[in-house]
Structure 1
Amino acid sequence: MQATIEVKDLRKRFGSTVALDGMTFTVRPGRVTGFVGPNGAGKSTTMRVVLGLDAAESGSALVAGRVYRTLRSPYRHVGALLDAGAVQPSRSARHHLLWQAHSQGLGARRVDEVLDLVGLRQAARRRAGEYSLGMRQRLGLAAALLGDPPVLMLDEPFNGLDPEGMVWIRGLLRSLAAEGRAVLVSSHLMSELQDVAGHVVVVGRGRVVADTGVADLIGRHTTLEEAYLELTRDAVEFRGGPR
Protein backbone atom coordinates (compact mmCIF):
# COMPACT_ATOMS: atom_id res chain seq x y z
CA MET A 1 0.00 0.00 0.00
CA GLN A 2 1.11 3.55 -0.65
CA ALA A 3 2.42 5.43 2.37
CA THR A 4 0.16 8.48 2.22
CA ILE A 5 -2.62 10.29 4.04
CA GLU A 6 -5.08 11.92 1.64
CA VAL A 7 -7.64 14.38 2.97
CA LYS A 8 -10.02 15.89 0.44
CA ASP A 9 -12.73 18.51 1.02
CA LEU A 10 -13.65 17.36 4.53
CA ARG A 11 -16.60 19.20 6.05
CA LYS A 12 -18.02 18.78 9.52
CA ARG A 13 -20.05 20.77 12.05
CA PHE A 14 -20.62 20.36 15.74
CA GLY A 15 -24.00 22.02 16.14
CA SER A 16 -23.61 25.55 14.79
CA THR A 17 -19.80 25.39 14.95
CA VAL A 18 -17.92 24.69 11.72
CA ALA A 19 -15.08 22.31 12.57
CA LEU A 20 -13.94 21.43 9.04
CA ASP A 21 -14.61 23.67 6.06
CA GLY A 22 -13.19 21.92 3.00
CA MET A 23 -10.01 20.59 4.65
CA THR A 24 -7.72 19.27 1.89
CA PHE A 25 -4.09 18.12 1.94
CA THR A 26 -1.84 15.11 1.31
CA VAL A 27 0.90 13.73 3.54
CA ARG A 28 3.55 12.11 1.37
CA PRO A 29 6.13 9.43 2.20
CA GLY A 30 9.74 10.11 3.04
CA ARG A 31 9.29 13.24 5.11
CA VAL A 32 7.88 14.60 8.34
CA THR A 33 4.90 16.87 7.73
CA GLY A 34 4.01 19.36 10.45
CA PHE A 35 0.30 19.93 11.04
CA VAL A 36 -0.20 23.25 12.81
CA GLY A 37 -2.90 25.76 13.61
CA PRO A 38 -4.55 27.61 16.50
CA ASN A 39 -6.79 25.88 19.03
CA GLY A 40 -10.05 25.01 17.33
CA ALA A 41 -8.55 25.08 13.83
CA GLY A 42 -9.65 21.51 13.06
CA LYS A 43 -6.42 19.54 13.57
CA SER A 44 -7.70 16.99 16.07
CA THR A 45 -11.02 16.61 14.26
CA THR A 46 -9.20 15.92 10.99
CA MET A 47 -7.01 13.27 12.58
CA ARG A 48 -10.02 11.63 14.22
CA VAL A 49 -11.86 11.55 10.87
CA VAL A 50 -8.85 9.93 9.18
CA LEU A 51 -8.80 7.25 11.88
CA GLY A 52 -12.55 6.63 11.71
CA LEU A 53 -13.20 7.99 15.21
CA ASP A 54 -15.41 10.79 13.87
CA ALA A 55 -17.47 10.93 10.69
CA ALA A 56 -17.33 13.83 8.27
CA GLU A 57 -20.49 15.13 6.67
CA SER A 58 -18.79 15.16 3.26
CA GLY A 59 -15.38 14.70 1.68
CA SER A 60 -12.97 11.81 1.99
CA ALA A 61 -10.02 10.68 4.09
CA LEU A 62 -7.73 7.87 3.00
CA VAL A 63 -4.79 6.33 4.80
CA ALA A 64 -2.43 4.10 2.84
CA GLY A 65 -4.88 4.46 -0.05
CA ARG A 66 -7.85 3.06 1.88
CA VAL A 67 -10.62 4.19 4.20
CA TYR A 68 -9.40 3.32 7.70
CA ARG A 69 -12.35 1.11 8.64
CA THR A 70 -11.66 -1.16 5.63
CA LEU A 71 -8.09 -1.93 6.71
CA ARG A 72 -7.40 -5.39 8.02
CA SER A 73 -4.89 -5.31 10.90
CA PRO A 74 -4.85 -1.50 10.81
CA TYR A 75 -1.77 -1.26 13.06
CA ARG A 76 0.23 -2.70 10.15
CA HIS A 77 -0.81 0.25 7.96
CA VAL A 78 -1.04 3.25 10.28
CA GLY A 79 0.20 4.01 13.76
CA ALA A 80 -1.38 6.79 15.79
CA LEU A 81 -0.69 8.67 19.00
CA LEU A 82 -3.62 10.90 19.89
CA ASP A 83 -3.71 10.76 23.70
CA ALA A 84 -0.75 9.58 25.77
CA GLY A 85 -3.08 9.23 28.77
CA ALA A 86 -5.24 6.58 27.09
CA VAL A 87 -3.84 3.67 29.09
CA GLN A 88 -5.20 1.60 32.00
CA PRO A 89 -3.09 2.90 34.94
CA SER A 90 -3.04 -0.41 36.80
CA ARG A 91 -1.67 -2.33 33.82
CA SER A 92 2.06 -2.61 33.19
CA ALA A 93 3.42 -0.98 30.05
CA ARG A 94 4.35 -4.35 28.62
CA HIS A 95 0.89 -5.82 29.24
CA HIS A 96 -0.67 -2.71 27.71
CA LEU A 97 1.31 -3.30 24.52
CA LEU A 98 0.79 -7.09 24.58
CA TRP A 99 -2.97 -6.58 24.66
CA GLN A 100 -2.78 -4.34 21.58
CA ALA A 101 -0.30 -6.62 19.82
CA HIS A 102 -2.47 -9.70 20.25
CA SER A 103 -5.47 -7.86 18.76
CA GLN A 104 -3.42 -7.36 15.59
CA GLY A 105 -1.84 -10.82 15.37
CA LEU A 106 1.52 -9.54 16.59
CA GLY A 107 3.73 -11.39 19.05
CA ALA A 108 5.59 -10.60 22.26
CA ARG A 109 8.86 -10.27 20.38
CA ARG A 110 7.59 -7.17 18.58
CA VAL A 111 6.45 -5.70 21.91
CA ASP A 112 9.96 -6.04 23.29
CA GLU A 113 11.41 -4.51 20.11
CA VAL A 114 9.33 -1.34 20.37
CA LEU A 115 9.97 -1.07 24.12
CA ASP A 116 13.68 -1.07 23.29
CA LEU A 117 13.15 1.45 20.51
CA VAL A 118 11.46 3.98 22.79
CA GLY A 119 13.77 3.37 25.75
CA LEU A 120 11.25 1.73 28.09
CA ARG A 121 12.63 -1.81 28.34
CA GLN A 122 13.86 -1.33 31.92
CA ALA A 123 10.53 0.16 33.02
CA ALA A 124 8.31 -2.21 31.04
CA ARG A 125 6.91 -4.05 34.06
CA ARG A 126 6.03 -0.91 36.00
CA ARG A 127 2.40 0.13 36.12
CA ALA A 128 1.59 2.76 33.52
CA GLY A 129 -0.08 4.86 36.23
CA GLU A 130 3.37 5.39 37.76
CA TYR A 131 4.78 6.80 34.52
CA SER A 132 5.61 10.46 34.02
CA LEU A 133 4.01 12.29 31.09
CA GLY A 134 7.21 11.87 29.09
CA MET A 135 7.23 8.11 29.73
CA ARG A 136 3.58 7.87 28.72
CA GLN A 137 4.46 9.67 25.48
CA ARG A 138 7.14 7.06 24.84
CA LEU A 139 4.62 4.30 25.57
CA GLY A 140 2.17 5.86 23.14
CA LEU A 141 4.87 5.98 20.49
CA ALA A 142 5.67 2.32 21.14
CA ALA A 143 2.01 1.45 20.53
CA ALA A 144 2.00 3.50 17.31
CA LEU A 145 5.04 1.60 16.07
CA LEU A 146 3.82 -1.90 16.98
CA GLY A 147 2.75 -2.87 13.46
CA ASP A 148 5.80 -1.29 11.78
CA PRO A 149 3.37 0.86 9.77
CA PRO A 150 4.20 2.94 6.68
CA VAL A 151 2.04 5.83 7.98
CA LEU A 152 2.25 7.57 11.36
CA MET A 153 -0.05 10.22 12.87
CA LEU A 154 1.23 11.83 16.06
CA ASP A 155 -0.60 14.50 18.06
CA GLU A 156 1.69 16.63 20.27
CA PRO A 157 4.38 13.93 20.64
CA PHE A 158 6.86 16.39 22.22
CA ASN A 159 4.68 17.03 25.29
CA GLY A 160 6.30 16.08 28.59
CA LEU A 161 9.68 15.15 27.14
CA ASP A 162 12.84 16.43 28.83
CA PRO A 163 15.77 17.83 26.75
CA GLU A 164 17.23 14.34 26.23
CA GLY A 165 13.80 13.14 25.13
CA MET A 166 13.48 16.01 22.68
CA VAL A 167 16.79 15.11 21.06
CA TRP A 168 15.75 11.45 20.96
CA ILE A 169 12.36 12.04 19.34
CA ARG A 170 13.80 14.38 16.71
CA GLY A 171 16.19 11.62 15.68
CA LEU A 172 13.40 9.02 15.73
CA LEU A 173 11.09 11.08 13.53
CA ARG A 174 13.85 11.79 11.03
CA SER A 175 14.79 8.11 10.85
CA LEU A 176 11.17 7.02 10.35
CA ALA A 177 10.76 9.46 7.46
CA ALA A 178 14.12 8.40 5.99
CA GLU A 179 12.76 4.83 5.85
CA GLY A 180 10.07 6.08 3.46
CA ARG A 181 7.20 6.46 5.90
CA ALA A 182 4.64 9.26 5.83
CA VAL A 183 4.82 11.01 9.20
CA LEU A 184 2.21 13.59 10.24
CA VAL A 185 3.05 15.52 13.43
CA SER A 186 0.57 17.93 15.00
CA SER A 187 2.27 20.29 17.44
CA HIS A 188 2.26 23.79 18.88
CA LEU A 189 6.06 23.72 19.27
CA MET A 190 7.21 25.52 16.14
CA SER A 191 10.87 25.37 17.14
CA GLU A 192 10.77 21.57 17.25
CA LEU A 193 8.93 21.28 13.95
CA GLN A 194 11.37 23.68 12.32
CA ASP A 195 14.18 21.29 13.23
CA VAL A 196 12.50 18.08 12.10
CA ALA A 197 9.75 18.74 9.50
CA GLY A 198 10.38 19.07 5.79
CA HIS A 199 6.85 20.17 5.00
CA VAL A 200 4.08 21.95 6.89
CA VAL A 201 0.32 22.18 6.59
CA VAL A 202 -1.01 25.29 8.34
CA VAL A 203 -4.74 25.35 9.10
CA GLY A 204 -7.20 27.88 10.46
CA ARG A 205 -10.97 27.83 10.90
CA GLY A 206 -11.27 24.34 9.45
CA ARG A 207 -9.36 24.90 6.21
CA VAL A 208 -5.80 24.89 4.92
CA VAL A 209 -4.13 28.31 4.76
CA ALA A 210 -0.68 27.08 3.71
CA ASP A 211 0.69 23.77 2.39
CA THR A 212 4.37 24.17 1.62
CA GLY A 213 7.97 23.29 2.43
CA VAL A 214 9.37 24.49 5.75
CA ALA A 215 12.43 25.88 3.99
CA ASP A 216 10.19 27.94 1.69
CA LEU A 217 8.35 29.46 4.65
CA ILE A 218 11.55 30.21 6.54
CA GLY A 219 13.00 31.76 3.40
CA ARG A 220 10.25 34.39 3.55
CA HIS A 221 10.36 34.78 7.34
CA THR A 222 12.96 34.55 10.09
CA THR A 223 11.47 31.45 11.73
CA LEU A 224 8.65 28.97 11.29
CA GLU A 225 6.97 30.50 14.33
CA GLU A 226 6.98 33.94 12.71
CA ALA A 227 5.48 32.52 9.51
CA TYR A 228 2.86 30.64 11.51
CA LEU A 229 1.79 33.73 13.45
CA GLU A 230 1.39 35.75 10.26
CA LEU A 231 -0.59 33.03 8.48
CA THR A 232 -2.97 32.40 11.39
CA ARG A 233 -3.46 35.91 12.75
CA ASP A 234 -7.10 35.95 11.64
CA ALA A 235 -7.89 32.40 12.81
CA VAL A 236 -7.17 32.46 16.55
CA GLU A 237 -9.99 31.79 19.03
CA PHE A 238 -9.03 34.68 21.29
CA ARG A 239 -6.46 37.38 21.66
CA GLY A 240 -4.63 38.48 24.76
CA GLY A 241 -2.88 41.76 25.35
CA PRO A 242 -2.30 44.61 27.74
CA ARG A 243 -5.35 46.27 29.22
Structure 2
Amino acid sequence: MALDGMTFTAAPGVVTGFVGPNGAGKSTTMRVLLGLDAADRGTATVGGRRYRDLPNPLTHLGALIDANALHPARSGRNHLLWLAHSQGIDAKRVDEVLDMTGLRTVARRRAGGYSLGMRQRLGISAALLGDPPALMLDEPFNGLDPEGIVWMRDLLRTLAAEGRAVLVSSHLMSELQDIAGHVVFVGRGRAIKEAAKDELTIRYGSLEAAYLELTRGEGALK
Protein backbone atom coordinates (compact mmCIF):
# COMPACT_ATOMS: atom_id res chain seq x y z
CA MET A 1 0.00 0.00 0.00
CA ALA A 2 1.44 3.41 -0.97
CA LEU A 3 1.25 6.22 1.58
CA ASP A 4 -0.09 9.59 0.49
CA GLY A 5 0.79 12.36 2.93
CA MET A 6 0.15 10.24 6.02
CA THR A 7 0.48 12.74 8.87
CA PHE A 8 -0.37 12.33 12.55
CA THR A 9 1.17 12.49 16.02
CA ALA A 10 0.98 9.99 18.89
CA ALA A 11 1.24 12.03 22.10
CA PRO A 12 2.85 10.98 25.41
CA GLY A 13 0.51 9.74 28.12
CA VAL A 14 -2.17 8.59 25.70
CA VAL A 15 -3.16 5.36 23.97
CA THR A 16 -3.65 6.41 20.35
CA GLY A 17 -5.80 4.06 18.28
CA PHE A 18 -4.61 3.65 14.68
CA VAL A 19 -7.51 2.25 12.67
CA GLY A 20 -8.60 1.66 9.10
CA PRO A 21 -9.67 -1.06 6.66
CA ASN A 22 -7.32 -3.77 5.43
CA GLY A 23 -4.96 -2.24 2.90
CA ALA A 24 -5.39 1.30 4.23
CA GLY A 25 -1.68 1.70 5.00
CA LYS A 26 -1.44 1.03 8.74
CA SER A 27 1.26 -1.65 8.60
CA THR A 28 3.17 0.22 5.90
CA THR A 29 3.20 3.33 8.09
CA MET A 30 4.62 1.35 10.99
CA ARG A 31 7.26 -0.24 8.78
CA VAL A 32 8.31 3.17 7.48
CA LEU A 33 8.61 4.47 11.04
CA LEU A 34 10.93 1.56 11.85
CA GLY A 35 12.96 2.02 8.67
CA LEU A 36 11.89 -1.39 7.33
CA ASP A 37 10.37 0.31 4.27
CA ALA A 38 11.78 3.48 2.74
CA ALA A 39 9.67 6.55 2.02
CA ASP A 40 10.19 8.37 -1.29
CA ARG A 41 9.67 11.68 0.49
CA GLY A 42 8.57 13.07 3.83
CA THR A 43 9.79 12.17 7.31
CA ALA A 44 8.87 9.61 9.96
CA THR A 45 10.50 10.37 13.27
CA VAL A 46 10.61 9.21 16.87
CA GLY A 47 11.22 12.13 19.19
CA GLY A 48 12.33 14.18 16.21
CA ARG A 49 14.88 11.64 14.89
CA ARG A 50 14.73 8.86 12.33
CA TYR A 51 14.61 5.41 13.92
CA ARG A 52 17.77 4.26 12.17
CA ASP A 53 19.68 7.25 13.58
CA LEU A 54 18.75 6.48 17.19
CA PRO A 55 21.43 4.98 19.44
CA ASN A 56 20.07 1.73 20.90
CA PRO A 57 16.64 2.30 19.29
CA LEU A 58 14.78 -0.14 21.56
CA THR A 59 15.34 2.35 24.38
CA HIS A 60 13.44 4.98 22.36
CA LEU A 61 10.66 3.01 20.63
CA GLY A 62 9.42 -0.49 21.35
CA ALA A 63 7.45 -2.16 18.57
CA LEU A 64 5.39 -5.27 17.96
CA ILE A 65 4.83 -5.69 14.23
CA ASP A 66 5.01 -9.45 13.66
CA ALA A 67 4.81 -11.89 16.57
CA ASN A 68 6.38 -14.57 14.35
CA ALA A 69 9.60 -12.59 13.85
CA LEU A 70 11.76 -14.82 16.02
CA HIS A 71 14.15 -17.74 15.75
CA PRO A 72 11.98 -20.80 16.46
CA ALA A 73 14.87 -22.84 17.88
CA ARG A 74 15.73 -20.24 20.52
CA SER A 75 14.02 -20.20 23.87
CA GLY A 76 11.89 -17.17 24.64
CA ARG A 77 14.47 -16.03 27.20
CA ASN A 78 17.39 -16.43 24.79
CA HIS A 79 15.49 -14.48 22.14
CA LEU A 80 15.21 -11.58 24.59
CA LEU A 81 18.80 -11.97 25.80
CA TRP A 82 20.02 -11.68 22.20
CA LEU A 83 18.00 -8.49 21.72
CA ALA A 84 19.18 -7.08 25.05
CA HIS A 85 22.83 -7.73 24.20
CA SER A 86 22.44 -6.02 20.80
CA GLN A 87 21.06 -2.90 22.51
CA GLY A 88 23.38 -2.67 25.51
CA ILE A 89 20.55 -3.59 27.90
CA ASP A 90 21.33 -5.38 31.16
CA ALA A 91 20.33 -9.05 31.20
CA LYS A 92 18.31 -8.58 34.40
CA ARG A 93 15.80 -6.56 32.36
CA VAL A 94 14.96 -9.75 30.45
CA ASP A 95 13.62 -11.42 33.58
CA GLU A 96 11.75 -8.26 34.52
CA VAL A 97 9.81 -8.17 31.25
CA LEU A 98 9.20 -11.93 31.36
CA ASP A 99 7.52 -11.39 34.72
CA MET A 100 5.53 -8.43 33.36
CA THR A 101 4.17 -10.50 30.48
CA GLY A 102 3.56 -13.72 32.41
CA LEU A 103 6.11 -15.78 30.46
CA ARG A 104 8.61 -16.62 33.22
CA THR A 105 7.38 -20.24 33.58
CA VAL A 106 7.78 -20.95 29.83
CA ALA A 107 10.81 -18.74 29.20
CA ARG A 108 13.18 -21.67 28.62
CA ARG A 109 10.91 -23.43 26.12
CA ARG A 110 11.65 -23.09 22.41
CA ALA A 111 9.76 -20.10 21.03
CA GLY A 112 8.82 -22.11 17.94
CA GLY A 113 6.49 -24.15 20.16
CA TYR A 114 4.70 -21.13 21.60
CA SER A 115 1.03 -20.54 20.85
CA LEU A 116 0.10 -17.33 19.01
CA GLY A 117 -0.94 -15.75 22.30
CA MET A 118 2.41 -16.64 23.87
CA ARG A 119 4.27 -15.26 20.85
CA GLN A 120 2.28 -12.04 21.23
CA ARG A 121 3.38 -11.83 24.86
CA LEU A 122 6.98 -12.47 23.80
CA GLY A 123 6.70 -9.69 21.22
CA ILE A 124 5.40 -7.35 23.94
CA SER A 125 8.33 -8.41 26.12
CA ALA A 126 10.72 -7.41 23.35
CA ALA A 127 8.94 -4.07 22.87
CA LEU A 128 9.28 -3.32 26.60
CA LEU A 129 12.89 -4.49 26.85
CA GLY A 130 14.45 -1.04 26.54
CA ASP A 131 11.87 0.60 28.86
CA PRO A 132 11.07 3.00 25.99
CA PRO A 133 9.01 6.21 26.20
CA ALA A 134 7.07 5.21 23.06
CA LEU A 135 5.47 1.95 21.94
CA MET A 136 3.95 0.92 18.61
CA LEU A 137 1.86 -2.24 18.54
CA ASP A 138 0.19 -3.82 15.51
CA GLU A 139 -2.88 -5.90 16.44
CA PRO A 140 -1.62 -6.74 19.95
CA PHE A 141 -4.87 -8.53 20.90
CA ASN A 142 -4.44 -11.19 18.19
CA GLY A 143 -4.30 -14.73 19.54
CA LEU A 144 -5.04 -13.76 23.14
CA ASP A 145 -7.67 -15.59 25.17
CA PRO A 146 -10.15 -13.56 27.28
CA GLU A 147 -7.75 -13.48 30.23
CA GLY A 148 -4.97 -12.32 27.92
CA ILE A 149 -7.18 -9.58 26.45
CA VAL A 150 -7.91 -8.22 29.93
CA TRP A 151 -4.19 -8.34 30.72
CA MET A 152 -3.31 -6.49 27.51
CA ARG A 153 -5.98 -3.86 28.14
CA ASP A 154 -4.64 -3.19 31.64
CA LEU A 155 -1.03 -3.14 30.39
CA LEU A 156 -1.74 -0.54 27.70
CA ARG A 157 -3.58 1.67 30.19
CA THR A 158 -0.66 1.39 32.61
CA LEU A 159 1.95 2.21 29.98
CA ALA A 160 0.06 5.35 28.95
CA ALA A 161 -0.47 6.35 32.59
CA GLU A 162 3.31 6.19 33.02
CA GLY A 163 3.56 8.95 30.42
CA ARG A 164 4.47 6.84 27.40
CA ALA A 165 3.16 7.41 23.89
CA VAL A 166 1.31 4.20 22.91
CA LEU A 167 0.20 3.71 19.29
CA VAL A 168 -2.09 0.70 18.81
CA SER A 169 -3.35 -0.59 15.49
CA SER A 170 -6.37 -2.84 15.95
CA HIS A 171 -9.58 -3.94 14.29
CA LEU A 172 -11.23 -4.43 17.70
CA MET A 173 -13.14 -1.19 18.10
CA SER A 174 -14.67 -2.36 21.38
CA GLU A 175 -11.21 -2.73 22.91
CA LEU A 176 -10.00 0.62 21.61
CA GLN A 177 -13.14 2.34 22.85
CA ASP A 178 -12.24 1.09 26.31
CA ILE A 179 -8.57 2.16 26.34
CA ALA A 180 -7.85 4.79 23.66
CA GLY A 181 -7.80 8.49 24.43
CA HIS A 182 -7.22 9.55 20.84
CA VAL A 183 -7.95 7.86 17.50
CA VAL A 184 -6.43 8.25 14.03
CA PHE A 185 -8.55 6.95 11.12
CA VAL A 186 -6.69 6.06 7.92
CA GLY A 187 -7.72 5.07 4.42
CA ARG A 188 -5.99 4.73 1.06
CA GLY A 189 -2.64 5.67 2.52
CA ARG A 190 -3.60 8.88 4.30
CA ALA A 191 -4.97 10.06 7.63
CA ILE A 192 -8.69 10.79 7.17
CA LYS A 193 -9.42 12.14 10.63
CA GLU A 194 -7.97 12.19 14.12
CA ALA A 195 -9.89 13.17 17.23
CA ALA A 196 -10.32 12.51 20.93
CA LYS A 197 -12.16 9.24 21.59
CA ASP A 198 -14.76 10.99 23.74
CA GLU A 199 -15.51 13.48 20.96
CA LEU A 200 -16.06 10.62 18.53
CA THR A 201 -18.33 8.61 20.81
CA ILE A 202 -20.44 11.68 21.61
CA ARG A 203 -20.88 12.47 17.92
CA TYR A 204 -21.31 8.96 16.51
CA GLY A 205 -22.54 6.98 19.51
CA SER A 206 -19.63 4.52 19.53
CA LEU A 207 -16.15 4.14 18.13
CA GLU A 208 -17.40 1.33 15.89
CA ALA A 209 -20.06 3.62 14.39
CA ALA A 210 -17.44 6.34 13.86
CA TYR A 211 -15.16 3.82 12.14
CA LEU A 212 -17.89 2.59 9.79
CA GLU A 213 -18.89 6.13 8.86
CA LEU A 214 -15.42 7.61 8.41
CA THR A 215 -13.73 4.72 6.59
CA ARG A 216 -16.55 3.73 4.21
CA GLY A 217 -15.01 3.05 0.82
CA GLU A 218 -11.47 3.77 2.03
CA GLY A 219 -10.03 0.25 1.95
CA ALA A 220 -7.96 -1.25 -0.82
CA LEU A 221 -10.01 -3.21 -3.36
CA LYS A 222 -9.68 -6.97 -2.97
Give me the TM-score of the superposition, normalised by structure 1.
0.89
State the alpha-carbon separation in 1 of the partners of residues 105 and 219 from structure 2.
43
SS at match of 2:83: helix
Instruction: Confirm or deny that 1:38 pairs with 2:21.
Output: yes
Deviation at 1:107, TM superposition (A): 2.0
Contact 1:152 1:181 in 2 (8 A): yes
CA RMSD of aligned residues (A): 1.0
- 1:108 matches 2:91: yes
1:63-115 superposed Cα distances (whole Å, 9 cap, x missing partner)? 02211111000011000000001111111000000000000111220000000
1:185 and 1:238 mapped to 2: Cα distance? Answer: 24
Work out the percentage of aligned pairs sharing the same amino acid. Answer: 72
- One-letter code of the match for 1:103? S
* 1:230 alignment counterpart: 213
> What's the counterpart of residue 198 of structure 1?
181
1:181 aligned onto 2:164? yes
Choose between structure 1 and 2: higher helix proportion.
Answer: 2
Higher relative contact order (CA 8 A, sep 6+): 2
Counterpart pick for 1:118 among 93, 101, 110: 101
Shift of 1:238: 4.5
1:1-243 equivalences in 2 (<5 Å): 19-238=2-221
SS of the residue corresponding to residue 200 of structure 1 reads strand
Is contact 2:28-2:37 (8 Å) kept? yes
- Check the 8 A contact 1:19/1:40 in 2, yes or no: no
Equivalent residues of 2:188, 2:220 under 8 A apart: no
Gaps of 5+ in 1: 1-17
DSSP 3-state at the match of 1:21: coil
1:175 is matched by which residue type in structure 2? T
Q: Counting strand residues as a fraction of each chain, which structure ranks higher? A: 1
Q: What SS class does the counterpart of residue 73 from structure 2 fall into?
A: coil
Deviates more, 1:220-229 or 1:176-185: 220-229
The AA in structure 1 aligned to 2:49 is: R
Letter in 2 for 1:74: P
Given that residues 68 and 119 in structure 2 are in contact (C-alpha distance below 8 angstroms), is that contact kept between their aligned partners in structure 1? Answer: yes
| Off by >3 Å, runs of 4+ in structure 1 | none
Q: What SS is found at the alignment partner of 1:103?
A: helix
CA distance in 1, matches of 2:136, 2:73: 26
Deviation at 1:222, TM superposition (A): 2.1
SS of the aligned residue for 1:188 comes to coil
C-alpha distance in 1, partners of 2:156/2:47?
Answer: 19
Aligned-partner Cα distance in 1 for 2:47–2:127: 15
Could you tell me how far apart the structure 2 residues matched to 1:132 and 1:234 are?
A: 35
